[in-house]
Structures are given as C-alpha cells and as structure tokens.
Structure 1
Amino acid sequence: MYKVIIVDDEPIIVEGLKLGIEWANWNCGIAGTASNGLAGLELMRKIKPDILISDISMNNMDGLAMVAAIKSEYPDIEVCLLTGFRNFEYAQQAIKLGVTRFLLKPSKIDELEEAISAMTNNLKQKGNDSSNAEIDSIWSRSDEEENYIYETFIKNHPECDTPEKDRLKCTDANNFILKNALKFIYEHYKLKLSLLDVAEQCFISSWHLSKLLNQYTGRGFFEIVNTIRIDKAKDLLENKNYKIQDVSERVGFQDVTHFCRIFKSYVGKSPSDYRNYGGKGK
C-alpha cells in the first residue's frame, strides 16, 4: 500500500482529504498529517511516504524550496501541491522541480482523484525513470557571484569518489538545492558556518547536503568555505593598509595563526609572502 501524508495549515482541508476520498481504491493509505512545512518535513523523514499532498503557502517555509528539498532527498516521491492563488510561472517552476499536479483550492473531488491516479501510475513506472537535468544552464555568467561559484566549484570540478551506483541523479531539484546552498555559503562565508546551518536553510539533512556538495563540486563543505575565504583574502592582501590580522578577521577567521596555516596550505606561501611576491613565488 502506498503511504500518503497531507500537509496543510487548514484543518478542514486535511479532514476533507482524509475522509472525502476512497484512498483504498488506489491502494493508498493516510500515514500522517502535518499543519506546517517544517513539521511536514520531519514527518516525511520519519515515515518516508510515497505521496505528498501539500499546501504550497507555508508561513515558515518557501514553497519551492520545500519542493526542491523533498524531491532532492526523496526523488521517487510523488507530489501534488494545492494553492489558493493563480500563478502560472510558479506552477511552471514547481512542475520543473518534479511536482506531478498543481491544483487550485478549492479542488474538486474529480481533480484530486485524477491527481492520485496519475501519481500512483507514476509510482508503478519509477524504475524506468532516467531523467538527467543540465546543471550548467542554471548559473548566470553575467552575475558576478554566480559566475564565481560556477567557475570555482562547478566547471571542471575534481571527480568525486562516490561509486557510480551510489551517485545522486542530476535533477532540477538537486540543482536547485545545490545552487541555493553554494550561494548561501558565498554570502555568509565570514560567519562561523556549519554544514547543519546550510542544510537547515535548504530544508534537507546534513548528510544529503554533504553528498550533493561532494558529488557536484568534488569538495567537502569546509573546503568550499575555505576556498571562498582564501580567494577573498587574496583580494584584500593587495591593499597594504590592511594588516594580516585585519584580513584574517575580514574573511571569517577568528585566529590569525590558523588563517596563515590555511592560507599557506591553499596557496603555497604565507599571506605576507603572497602580498610581497604575489603568485610569482619568493
């Protein structure tokens, strides 16, 4: 039997979906319900459902971010989104991320039944899915931040050591999560970031984010953070008004000795030598 969870902050909608549909007709059963997006994600990780029916408008979560997180971590799950607003562009984005149906509230029973039928049929055919999205197309080369991230971490990245059979598919949802994670790291590199901090921003588990980063960039989380910090430090070192300790603090290192050690391990020379001799060597 297919496990279904319902996420909606309107109790009357939840009860209507639970009791107004003959779920057994599609070999389905309600495995749980939640009243908001974060609770819904926790429930999903506990139950690992086959089908999710959810309101797209959650006070504590961006709807598309939630969809991307779900489809990235659970690529085989079938998703039907409910919304009270007509937004064709939003619907297009949701469908691109892997949503099967996007229904307007109040939804008619025949619309819901058609959605359930489509989702259960898709579940039967999952073994034939060979989707492979194009990662390069999501990055804007005209945007300075995105171009830096793409050139540094995506283009010609080191080969990851994950066996082929264990690798994640290159899907639009995974690309969406990866882009959001790397942009968040880039924009907050000065802070004392952890993998968990970034994972929570993307609504996925730390384990799943680590796997995504390793596969798509060939680097671990702290290597990505340090690469950005060292690149920023190189720029600051060109200004001789900044002391080495000033540079260290400005790029997020709390200890100048640690900064110098990391800088030398990445660049091959100390910050002082880099300032005096640049990339030419001493």
Structure 2
Amino acid sequence: MYKVLLVEDERIIREGLKTLIEKVTTGFCVAAEAEDGKEALLYLRTDMPDLIVTDIRMREVDGLAMIGKIREMYEELPIVIISGYGDFQYAQKALKHKVTDYLLKPIDRIELVGTLEKIRQSLERKKQSVAAEQSENQKEERHIIRKVKNYIQDHTDGDLRLQTLADFVHLNPIYLSQLFKTETGENVSDYVTRTRMKRAKQLLRETSLKIYDISRLVGYQSPKHFMIVFKKEVGMTPGGYRDGASEEQDL
C-alpha cells in the first residue's frame, strides 16, 4: 500500500476524503493527517509519504506555501491539490510547483480514481526501476568482489594491501573494505591471509622448496613472520605441516 499524507483543515471534509481514498481507490492508505501546512511539514521531518493530497487555503501555512517548502526537500514527491477555489491563478501557481493534479471540490469520484490510478502506476514504474537499478548495482558489486578475490589468488607473492586492491578496482579503500565485508562476511585482510596460507600449504605439500622461499612466494619477506602467521592460522609450524603431509603420502 502506498502511504498518503492528507492535509485539510476541515475535519468533516478530511474524513470524507480519507474514506474516498481508502474505499474507492486502489493501493493507497491514509498514513497521516494534518490540519494545515505547518503540521504537515512537521510530519515530513520524520517520515515521507508516497503521495500528498492537500487543500490550498489553510491556516498557519497554506497549501501553496507548504508545497514550495516540500519541493525544496522532495522534488519528485507526487502532490494532488484539492480546493473549492476554481481560481486559475491558484492553478497556475500550483503547476509551477509541479503538482501532479489540481481537483476541485466537490470531489468527482471518477476523476479522483483516475488521478490516483495514474499516480499508482507511476509509483509502480518507479519502484520497478529502482529495483532494477539495485539489482544491477548488486551484480556490479559481486563482480568487483570476484575481481578482487581473483587478483588476490593470482598475486599471493605481491603487494595485497587494501590501498593496492582499491586502486586495482578504482574504489575508495574504506568503501571496498565495507563492500567486501558485506558480500563475503570476511575482512579483506583475513581473506588475504587465508589465501596465502592455502597457497603455502600447497607449496609445502607439493614442492621441496625451503621455508624461506615459500614465505616469499606467499608475500612474506620475513620467514619468521611467515612461520608465526602460519602456526596461528594452521595450528602447527610449516615444517610440522610438511612432515604430516609427507607421512600421509607414505601410508
């Protein structure tokens, strides 16, 4: 259901409009009511409706003044003016504020239904467009993360600092870090370490390279630092891991 903010200073008319909107039209509910423009603007500070239906002549802040302020905040928010004044000058001023429609009292039910149906269709198209854009953004974000992962896997011996990875995909480092965490549930640094340890275990199993050579091949210039990280991540020293792998092959 699309939320309507109904602005009308006469209670009986406001109740009648609410009944019309909710009983006669499709897809709308009156989420909030206001007696004048001032009250409506206060509501808009804390919540945003999908549509505003408002009278023109009201106390405190009238409809046109309110619409002018609303347009400063929400340029595309649909607004329908309902008024007992057939004054063409008012209509002209309303159109300058890009109101969706201008209806005269007493309300013609068919006209109201037609106006709100057009607005509903427009809101549906906008929702679909936003959903499609979000889907495309998600696809692009997943593509970026796959690209970063592939880069890490192909460059375990290189510079895999966050700044380097961010430069590779042309993103802000902080944004990349947040995006990677959101998409994978893992920090970039943890993924880099895990990938390097996976490569190190492979080299320990499949080659006879010295520990200090393997440390360089997985991005650690200090063999001592490599051994500390390896033991922390794997639970044993590189030498112990190699001995265990060798014993398994002999069985």
TM-score (norm 1): 0.42
With a CA cutoff of 8 Å and minimum separation of 6, indicate the structure with the bigger relative contact order. 1
Which has a greater percent of helix? Answer: 2
